[in-house]
Structures are given as C-alpha cells and as structure tokens.
Amino acid sequence: MDPSEMAELRTMYIFRPADEQTWGLSYEDLAAKLRKRDADEFIRVDPGTEGPVRGSSMHFGITLENEELEGMALLSPEGIALEDSSAQDAANFVKWLRSNIVPEGMLMTFNTRWGLEADLPDALVPDVPRPRLVATFFAHIEATGGLD
C-alpha cells in the first residue's frame, strides 16, 4: 500500500501511561483542558454501573488542525483513545497530550483497534518529530496484517 493510501486509513488509537505508571488523569482536568482550547467542546461523562469512577468513561470532541475528532477517556484502566483517526490525526493528538495531559518526562504507549485485534502489544510512543511519529504509526498498521 502506498503512503497516500495509508494516510487515508482510520482506526482507533489508544494511548496509555507506560510501565504501570499514572498520569494522574481525571475527567475534571481533561474537561478543563479541552474547554480551554474551545469553550463549546463536546464533553460527556458516563458514570458506569459501578459508581462515579469504576466502569465510567468520558467522551469528548477535539478539533486539531481543522479536523473534528472524537475521543474517549477511562480512569481504570487509565488511558485516552482517539476514535476513527488517521495516523496524522493521532500524531497531532500525541503533541496535544504531551503538552496538556502527560506529565513531563513520563512515557506513553499506544496501540490501535487493529493492533488489539491482531494481539500486538502496546508500543512506546517515541518522542520524535511528527513525520517520524506518523511513520511509527504506519509501521504499526502494517504489522497488524490487516492491509492485505
């Protein structure tokens, strides 16, 4: 598959703290940072069946590089997913996460819906320029084997 075709592929990208660490993620903080970017941002917290945290989830909208995207956050297991996203969108989201959510010096892992379906382990998100990050995401997509 050539790079222009791969750039059009969309899947869910899941980002988590590495090595069983924590970002100290809270729905309130995430919502505040999203609303700081755009006061009208879509945000919804579903309490789940087991109280306000366990089993809960937060759904949100975020616009990056003029692309309207949707995401989801969980506190347990801690992580943030970007739904129906291209590799370029995911790279832009990583930049935003590093600037706003992930504490300085902490590592982040990623996987995709396709990677989970192919039983690929989470991989570290390298701290590299955007084009190399996109290439990392492309390599992951190729490793899922779903492009044949």
3-state secondary structure 43-74: EEEECCCCCCCCCCEEEEEEEECCEEEEEEEE
Rg (C-alpha) for the chain, rounded Å, is 15
User: In terms of Cα–Cα distance, which of 141, 143, 148 is closest to 6?
Assistant: 141
Average pLDDT estimate for 84-107:
96
CA distance 24 to 102: 9
pLDDT of residue 38: 85
* Whether pLDDT at 115 is above 90: yes
The model's confidence at residue 2, banded by pLDDT at 50, 70 and 90, is confident
Sequence-ordered list of residues with C-beta below 8 angstroms from that of 99, at least 6 positions apart, any chain: none
pLDDT of residue 48: 64
User: In terms of Cα–Cα distance, which of 72, 77, 79 is closest to 109?
Assistant: 79
CA 33, 107, 86, 88 torsion-angle sign? positive
Share of the chain above pLDDT 70, in %: 92
121-139 pLDDT per residue, tens: 999 999 999 999 999 999 9
Phi, psi dihedral angles at 121 (to 5 degrees): -75, 160
pLDDT of residue 87: 96
- As to burial, measured by CB atoms within 10 angstroms (0-12 exposed, 13-18 middle, 19+ buried), residue 91 is buried
The model's confidence at residue 54, banded by pLDDT at 50, 70 and 90, is low
* Whether pLDDT at 41 is above 90: no
Supply the pTM of this predicted model: 0.91
Stated length of the chain: 148
Average pLDDT estimate for 114-126:
96
CA distance 63 to 128: 22
CA 51 to mean position of chain CA atoms: 25
The model's confidence at residue 40, banded by pLDDT at 50, 70 and 90, is confident
Average pLDDT estimate for 108-117:
96
